[in-house]
Amino acid sequence: MTVHRRVYLNVTALRRSSTGELIPYSIEWEGRIYKINKVLESRNGKSLKQKVNAQRFNCICEGTKLQLFFEDGGFRNQRFYIEVEDNCICE
């Protein structure tokens, strides 16, 4: 069984004031900034691996498909993360 963990990222995002829609623009990974080229889908629900309520963004980031999650835990507790395999060396 594959175990996944969350890796929290710095994300630049836009919020459209008329609709309140959140749109991720770029992510910071290991000190580099990567532009999100396109958001393919955005939906509310649970993360796929850890079953936590989050907004999931299916994105294309520099040619790679990526699932980015937004966890809204209230004021000062709103974070973006991705899920990686536990044996992944990525921090």
Q: Is residue 91 part of a domain?
A: no
> Are the C-beta atoms of 57 and 67 separated by less than 8 Å?
yes
CB count in 10 Å sphere of residue 83 = 18
Domain count of the fold of the chain: 1
Tell me the residue type at 51.
Answer: K
Band of residue 91 on the pLDDT scale cut at 50, 70, 90? very low
Give pLDDT tens digits for 55-90.
899 999 989 998 999 988 777 788 999 887 765 555
Pick from 30, 17, 27: which is nearest to 69 by CA? 27
Q: Is residue 26 part of a domain?
A: yes
Give pLDDT tens digits for 20-54.
788 999 999 889 999 999 999 998 866 655 566 78
Q: Is residue 21 part of a domain?
A: yes
> Could you tell me the pTM of the whole model?
0.79
At residue 5, the pLDDT reads 81
At residue 2, the pLDDT reads 64
